[in-house]
Amino acid sequence: MINSILDRFQLGASTRNALNLLKYIFNWKLLLKNARFIRNGAPDGLPVQTPGLAFLVCGQYDLESMYYNGLRGISWITDLLKKNGLCIDEFDTILDFGCGCGRVLRFWKDLTHAKIYGTDYNPSLIRWCEDNLPFAIVSVNGLCFRTDYADKSFDMVYVISVFTHLSREMQSCCLDELIRITKPGGYIIITVHGVSRTSVLSDEELKRFRNGELVVRGGKYSGTNICGTYHPRHYLERLADGRLIEIDYLAQGATDADQDAYLFRKV
């Protein structure tokens, strides 16, 4: 009821964020842990993000956890590609779509062949990447995820925990853009909330999910962590309408986000 009242006056997101910040400020153990991690520096030698940026991307303030979470991200991506006879460094161009403050992007710095790109709708996150990840070419995407990239720009695009926070309409816009900027025969990796994450759904929502319908909670906050979207099997394939072929599917394969992972190839 309180959430409904706050949402009616468009105060829901700001109130939730303020409460989470207060929890962090009074969590002295986490404050000390973050201070120690910043003082010691990240193991990869690159700068450490701020707790505020970590919250925007991950919904939590733990910097060390975010670092190792990103490390798990590159691990399952490379494993998924290898399983299907692909090597990450054999691509010419790779895009981190929804790169945030470089949670995963930072770990591609040692690739010797591929050119690395990143894009996000939040200018603050992109600014941090510009200042601290010089090996990556980053940019801000616009309304409905429209980017300035030319058609057929990328050999491989990965999209981690973006579709998990989008309304039906934004899902379609985002997928259209991904397909536009991917080369024919190129690959798109997308993670979603699948069967393993449906325990939070009501009986009515679960029924719709099992009938193959997309379930969106908090749709008015689409594009933020407050919005939660749950994808039944093959929903993205139907949305692609023959423009993508599913190469592989791993339930809970995205171990950094506890999400299902899809590997598609553009027709």
In tens digits, the chain (267 residues) has pLDDT values of 666 655 565 555 566 667 777 888 888 999 999 999 999 999 999 999 999 999 989 889 999 999 999 999 999 999 999 999 999 999 999 999 999 999 999 999 999 999 999 999 999 999 999 999 999 999 999 877 899 999 999 999 999 999 999 998 999 999 999 999 999 999 999 999 998 888 889 999 999 999 999 999 888 777 777 789 999 999 999 999 999 999 999 999 999 989 999 999 999
Q: How many other CB atoms are there within 10 angstroms of residue 46's CB atom? A: 17
Q: Where are the beta strands (DSSP E) in 150-241?
A: 154-159, 182-192, 215-217, 228-230
Return the pLDDT at 6: 53
The sign of the dihedral angle between the CA atoms of 83, 230, 122, 13 is negative
In total, how many domains does the chain have?
Answer: 1
User: What integer pLDDT is reported at residue 23 of this predicted model?
Assistant: 86
* Mode of pairing for the β-strands spanning 182-192 and 154-159: parallel
pLDDT at res. 224: 74
Neighbouring C-beta atoms of residue 153, cutoff 10 Å: 17
We report the CATH number of the domain holding residue 253 as: 3.40.50.150
Range of the domain at 157: 2-266
Residue 2 has what pLDDT?
A: 61
CB-based contact 106:46 (threshold 8 Å): yes
What's the confidence (pLDDT) of residue 176?
96
Residue whose token pair is 């997928």:
175
Q: What's the pLDDT score for residue 142?
A: 84
